Amino acid sequence: MKKRRVVIALGGNAIQQGKDATANAQMRAVEMTADALAGLIAEGIEVIITHGNGPQVGNLMLQQAASDSEATPAMPLDVCGAMTQGMIGYWFENALTKALRKHGLERSVAPLVTRAEVDPNDSAFSHPTKPIGPFYSEQEAIRLERETGFLFKEDAGRGYRRVVPSPFPIAICEHAVIRDLIDNGHVVIASGGGGIPVIDTPDGYVGVEAVIDKDFAAAKLAELVEADMLLILTAVDHVYVHFGTPDQTALEETTKQQLETYIAEGQFAPGSMLPKVRAALQFAETGEGRLAVITSLDQVNEAVRGRIGTRVRMAATLKQ
């Protein structure tokens, strides 16, 4: 019997919770996440984990800028993306091994530094929108813009964050390797932070300074490894329309047509829920039977069983 294959997309803010950005605090958060996911693996579900790195790469860029000198030059954004991808992958590797042992399982966990190909002519390079790093007040953001030359924008009512280009991933370079690992029973952590953005040249891939949205990268990866489900985990149990008003309504089973209407109405915040909704649509459209679910980490097991979360399918497969 064919096993279910699920790509799980975790936000970087789920790894760095609050203002405590220490390694120990982030490792504790990763361990809590791993405990929630280990149950799925113990049930025989093939799991590929992707994760964001917005807070981590933003913090690392600030550290790089603060220590920049001729002796210790600051690393570019794509290199910082690779560094944080390795760091978070290492944390998950340890945490998942520990969590799986609680279930009596000895499984190989493989974090893979992953590249994502982007189009060099993507309009995102001239219109930075991807928030990275910590939140600041408006006054702090103005000061940092003046001191660093970085661009800061307000992020969904939560404060100001640095924004960088976020081109669309057109391919996941290591998808064949990821698929081989999954086919052979390994747990894979891949496309961290959306993957390292690269462009294809006659001489090979070259990194570019950008951060890819991890949900779009997860949708592309899920398509390429022929996953049955894309599970996008966020801070709420459902996607809502009229969010934060007396008319707030949770979306449960929905379709492309319904969501596109809500997108046109401006129901979803561009810096938070909108990319998740678009990524869910992107995956659901790749074939009948493919399901995207948006929910919270706390509900991951119930979501896989179809009991909670916003479920996005092609119209032809929508449950009646």
By annotation, the residues acting in catalysis are 12-13, 130, 214, 276
* Residue type at position 11: G
Distance CA 125, CA 171 (A): 18
Report the 3 state secondary structure along the chain.
CCCCEEEEEECHHHCCCCCCCCHHHHHHHHHHHHHHHHHHHHCCCEEEEEECCHHHHHHHHHHHHHCCCCCCCCCCHHHHHHHHHHHHHHHHHHHHHHHHHHCCCCCCEEECCCEEEECCCCHHHHCCCEEEEEEECHHHHHHHHHHHCCCEEECCCCCEEEEECCCCEEEECCHHHHHHHHHCCCEEECCHHHCEEEEEECCEEEECCCCCCHHHHHHHHHHHCCCCEEEEEECCCCEEECCCCCCCEEECEEEHHHHHHHHHCCCCCCCCHHHHHHHHHHHHCCCCCCEEEEEEHHHHHHHHCCCCCEEEECHHHCCC
Q: Are 152 and 158 in contact (CB under 8 A)?
A: no
Q: State whether the Cα torsion 246-247-248-250 is positive or negative.
A: positive
Sequence-distant (≥ 6) Cβ neighbours of residue 202 within 8 angstroms: none
Distance CA 83, CA 273 (A): 27
